[in-house]
Homo-oligomer: A and B are copies of this chain.
Amino acid sequence: MQRVRIAPQTGYGLKLKRGQVLRIIDPEGEQVSDVMAFAAGDKAEKLSSGRSIDYNNTIYLTAGHVLYSSRSRPMFTILEDTVGRHDFLLTPCSPETFEILYEGHEGYHPSCLENLAKNLGPFGIDEDDIPTTFNVFMNVAVSPGGELNIGPPLSKAGDHVDLRAEMDLVVGVTACSAEKSNNGSFKPIEIEVRER
Residues of A bordering B, CB below 8 Å:
44-45, 48-51, 53-55, 57-60, 70-72, 89-91, 94, 96-97, 100-101, 128, 131-133, 141-142, 144-148
Q: Which residues of B contact A70 (CB under 8 A)?
A: 91, 128, 131
Most chain B beta-carbon contacts within 10 A, residue among A91, A131, A133:
A91
Structural contact, B94 and A59, CB atoms closer than 8 A? no
Q: Which residues of B contact A90 (CB under 8 A)?
A: 50, 53-54
Structural contact, B50 and A132, CB atoms closer than 8 A? yes
Q: Which residues of B contact A48 (CB under 8 A)?
A: 91, 131-132
Structural contact, A60 and B132, CB atoms closer than 8 A? no
Structural contact, A51 and B146, CB atoms closer than 8 A? no
Instruction: Please pick, from B45, B131, B132, B146, the residue contacting A59 in the complex, using a CB distance under 8 A.
Output: B146
Q: Looking at the assembled complex, report how far the CB atom of A189 sits from the nearest CB atom of chain B, in whole angstroms.
A: 20
Structural contact, A72 and B96, CB atoms closer than 8 A? yes
Structural contact, A89 and B89, CB atoms closer than 8 A? yes
